[in-house]
Structure formats: C-alpha cells, structure tokens
C-alpha cells in the first residue's frame, strides 16, 4: 500500500470492485462489521422510496433513523439555498466572523419556538448538541450531576452515552456525574393504576432521589420529551409538568432532548408543546432540522442562560459549529415547513396511524400493544408465549430475523430494533402511500404470526 491504484481514475466501478472495497476497507458503526456486505447498496431515493443497486424499490417506514422527514426528492429551494451559500461563502470559523444565515436561522427559531428560548447554536448532530447542553448546564449552575432516564438514548459521544439508559451505555465505560432515574412508563413493571397515579408515584420517587443525591450537586435533568428509540413512550399525564416543577423547586435545569421528536415529528414544531406550561431551560434537536439533507444539530437556551453567557465563557465549540452551508439548508427546510403548516399534515397522518395501528394490534398475535403520537409510532412484538421477543441488547432471537427478512421481502426499509417495531414515515408520505406502507407492514406481521404458529414456510 502507499500508492493510489488506477481504479480511482475511473468514474464507475463494477459491483465486484465495490464489494471488495466494502469488505476490505469499510468499518461499521455500533455493531461488529461482519454483515457489511449483506446490506443493500442504496443508489437512489425519490419521494418515500429508496432504490438499491439491483433496482429493487424499498418504502421507508421509519424515515431511516427518524431523520429523513422530507423524504428523498430534493426540494429545489433547499438546493438553491445550499448552492448559493456554497458559492458565496462556504465556511467561516464560528468564533472569527458572523454570517447572515446564522443571524437569520437563530432569529427564526427564536420567533417560532415557544417560551423565551432565544439563544441558539448549531453543532453537527444530536450527540454533539447534548454534549454541548450538558456542558452549558454544568457551567451555568456550577454543579455537575446529570440525571437521565433508564429508558433513553441521548447520543454516541461520551457524555450523552453516559446519560443514555439503553444497552448502548455499556460501550462508554465508567463516566462520573451521571445518575439514572426510572421512567414513569409501565412496560414490565407497574407504577400505578392510572396515568395520573403513575405520574404521581414516579414524581415522588424522583423527588426522593433528588434529595438523596443532593439538589446542590445536580446540574440538570435530561429527558427525551417523548422517548424515541426506546419505544415512543409518552409521559403519563402530569409527569413532565411535575419534573419541571421539581427542577424549579430545587434549582435544577431541565434539558429536553428533541433530537428525534422535534421539528414536527409529533405534530407541533417541538414535542414539549404537548405539555402545557412546560418550557425546557435547554432544548436540543437535530435530524428533522435539515431533514438529513446535511448534518446539523441545535442547542436552544432560555434568556436567563443566554444572559449569563454574555459575560461568562460558554466553554464549548468546534471548527464546524454553525457551518454556513448547513445553516442555509436548515433555514430553508424550517421556513418552508413552517409556511406549509406541516403541523396540520402531521395531524392528518396521525389519524391514519391511529386507525391502522389499532387494526394491526387487533389482527396480529405477535403485536402486544402500540403507541402513536403524530407520525411517531412503535409496536411491541411478542413471541408465541406472549412475552417480549427479547430484551434490548440481547442477542436477536430467530423471530427477529423473520421480521428482518420479511421487511426486505415486502419492500420495506427502516430501523428495526427488536422487540420494537417503529413506524415513523417521512412526513411527506401521501395517504395512498400510508395505506401501502401499512399493508406491507401487515404482511410482515403475517409472516411473524405464521412463524409463531410454527409455519416457517412463509419465512423464505
């Protein structure tokens, strides 16, 4: 090695050349790399469909990682804004100079975000946004502990992964200053008979934990406004309001992570708008902000925190923070979706989702229950004994492989994290396409039902 080979002078590579490079040089993220040559090689996207190198069409039923909210047909306005920014000025170091697009995007977000969240900065993605939020909370309060939920995901870098409760937290090793709290959601244990009781009991447990840890050691409580990757869990009535009140009582900041649920995924611009009176002190997001056309994260801070950092160093930054080309993309995506009243369309999608998911639960033995808010839904899959297919992080059972194979067979692509089946279509999906998506999902669940009956012939 040490010399560029002639194949890099060719515009097109053969399938064999690509497969060899994937095998020899590609390293996967999160999982081991053994399956890298089995992944479909996606070459094109259009509308809500992706196409692989063999021409096979896949319908995207989870907006990939709940991020390609606008689907795959590139909006002409977004394209023009990005190209214009690239041609005029593709980069300035964020601490060295200001740009118009930075001023515009911060101003637009301050206008449309409820409450006094008036200050904004833009890292490269959701993990970095939460990393920055944790730093800001610690520097603002002078305290260090971050409390977060067991059933949560906050990102792959050290701080957010330590705050994460799901199995991925094991990859970060020992990190100081992170404390886990129980979610108020009843899945495998009971926190009370009704929503209200569950909320009250969880809140009193949380208050006790705050007292034990010492309120003067806790910088922030970091929660997903609606738990996303761990199952689309909606907080029981009164819970988030109660957490907000506890934060106020004990002088703790509330950070809401809307990396997945922000930017109209659940209906309103931000999911915290479902909870009257709740405004986070720090709000993070990413994904839908640019619809993944380009990578970008967001940190929003309330006026009091913004004021504090007028005369105190914020103490966080990166070369590509506030990158003008990425901001141009976000500005166009956000103003376009705002003008188009995306919230209204998502509420129409929600009606279809509620009806169809109800039908899937009733029709399929393998579906225990489901949850829906906006275009954000999840089904819990069970085995023939009615037990969850697996625990998160356990080796996949054969039923999960049935689902994986069946998704590809029925032309669906998306993130499947057994035992959860997320259903989070791109927000541009039409009603006809929604029907088509649910009928394909129904066929996948038929295959799983048949496998549970022991009729493995449908598994091919």
329 binds ligand PLP (CB under 6 A): no
229 binds ligand PLP (CB under 6 A): yes
Which residue is it, tokens 């899945």?
187
Separation of alpha carbons 59 and 172, rounded Å? 34
Smallest distance, ligand PLP to C-beta of residue 227, A: 8
Within residues 275-294, the interface with ligand PLP by CB under 6 A covers 286
Smallest distance, ligand PLP to C-beta of residue 446, A: 29
DSSP structure string for 94-156: TTT---HHHHHHHHHHHHHSSTTEEEEE--SSHHHHHHHHHHHHHHHHS--EEEEESS----S
Of 224, 281, 356, 447, the residue at the interface with ligand PLP (CB under 6 A) is 224
257 binds ligand PLP (CB under 6 A): yes
Of 120, 122, 153, 376, the residue at the interface with ligand PLP (CB under 6 A) is 153
CB-facing half-sphere around the CA of 134: CA atoms within 13 A:
26
Contacts of 421 (CB under 8 A, 6+ apart): 378, 379, 381, 403, 441
126 binds ligand PLP (CB under 6 A): yes
Separation of alpha carbons 441 and 423, rounded Å? 9
> Nearest-CB residue to ligand PLP?
126
Of 94, 125, 231, 242, the residue at the interface with ligand PLP (CB under 6 A) is 125
Of 94, 119, 228, 238, the residue at the interface with ligand PLP (CB under 6 A) is 228
Contacts of 87 (CB under 8 A, 6+ apart): none
Separation of alpha carbons 281 and 267, rounded Å? 21
Smallest distance, ligand PLP to C-beta of residue 379, A: 18
Question: Count of residues binding ligand PLP (CB under 6 A)?
Answer: 16
Of 156 and 397, which has the nearer Cβ to ligand PLP?
156
Phi, psi for residue 417 in degrees, rounded to 5 = -115, 85
Instruction: Check: CB of residue 337 under 8 Å from CB of residue 75.
Output: no
Of 282 and 445, which has the nearer Cβ to ligand PLP?
282
Instruction: Check: CB of residue 265 under 8 Å from CB of residue 376.
Output: yes
Instruction: Check: CB of residue 125 under 8 Å from CB of residue 308.
Output: no
Within residues 33-92, the interface with ligand PLP by CB under 6 A covers 65
| Side-by-side strand order, sheet with 367-373 | 367-373, 376-381, 420-423
Of 228 and 370, which has the nearer Cβ to ligand PLP?
228
Smallest distance, ligand PLP to C-beta of residue 452, A: 30
259 binds ligand PLP (CB under 6 A): yes
Within residues 374-403, the interface with ligand PLP by CB under 6 A covers none
Smallest distance, ligand PLP to C-beta of residue 221, A: 15
DSSP bridge partners of 433: none
Binding stretches for ligand PLP (CB under 6 A): 65, 125-127, 130, 153-156, 224, 228-229, 257, 259-260, 286
């Amino acid at each position: 090695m040490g010399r560029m080979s002639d194949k890099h002078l060719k515009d097109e590579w053969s399938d064999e050349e690509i497969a060899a490079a994937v095998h020899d040089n590609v390293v996967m993220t999160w999982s081991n790399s053994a399956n890298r040559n089995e992944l479909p090689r996606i070459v094109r996207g259009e509308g809500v469909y992706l196409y692989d190198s063999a021409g096979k069409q896949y319908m995207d039923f989870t907006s990939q990682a709940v991020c390609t909210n606008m689907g795959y047909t590139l909006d002409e306005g977004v394209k023009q804004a990005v190209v214009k920014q690239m041609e005029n000025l593709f980069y300035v170091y964020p601490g060295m100079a200001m740009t118009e697009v930075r001023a515009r995007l911060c101003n637009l977000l301050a206008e449309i975000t409820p409450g006094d969240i008036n200050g904004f900065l833009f890292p490269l993605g959701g993990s970095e946004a939460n990393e920055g939020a944790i730093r800001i909370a610690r520097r603002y309060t002078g305290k260090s502990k971050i409390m977060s939920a067991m059933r949560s995901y906050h990102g792959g870098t050290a701080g957010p992964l330590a705050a994460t409760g799901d199995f991925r937290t094991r990859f970060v090793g020992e990190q100081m200053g992170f404390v886990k709290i129980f979610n108020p959601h009843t899945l495998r244990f009971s926190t009370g008979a009704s929503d209200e009781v569950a909320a009250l009991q969880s809140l009193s447990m949380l208050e006790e934990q705050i007292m034990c840890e010492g309120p003067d050691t806790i910088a922030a409580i970091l929660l997903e406004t609606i738990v996303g990757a761990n199952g689309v869990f909606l907080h029981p009535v009164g819970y988030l309001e109660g957490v907000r009140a506890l934060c106020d009582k004990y002088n703790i900041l509330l950070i809401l992570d809307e990396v997945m649920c922000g930017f109209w995924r659940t209906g309103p611009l931000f999911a915290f708008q479902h909870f009257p009176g709740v405004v986070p002190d720090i709000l993070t997001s990413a994904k839908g902000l640019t619809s993944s056309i380009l990578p970008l994260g967001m940190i929003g801070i309330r006026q009091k925190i913004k004021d504090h950092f007028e005369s105190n160093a914020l103490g966080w930054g990166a070369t590509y923070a506030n990158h003008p080309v990425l901001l141009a993309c976000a500005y166009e995506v956000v103003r376009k979706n705002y003008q188009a009243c995306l919230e209204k369309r998502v509420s129409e999608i929600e009606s279809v989702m509620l009806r169809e998911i109800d039908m899937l639960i009733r029709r399929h033995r393998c579906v225990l229950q489901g949850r829906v808010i906006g275009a954000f839904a999840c089904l819990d899959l069970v085995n023939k004994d009615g037990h969850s297919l697996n625990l998160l992080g356990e080796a996949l059972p054969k039923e999960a492989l049935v689902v994986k194979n069946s998704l590809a067979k029925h032309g669906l692509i998306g993130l499947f994290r057994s035992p959860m089946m997320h259903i989070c279509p791109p927000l541009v999906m039409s009603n006809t396409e929604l029907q088509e998506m649910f009928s394909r999902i129904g066929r996948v669940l038929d295959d799983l039902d048949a496998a549970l009956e022991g009729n493995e012939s449908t598994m091919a």
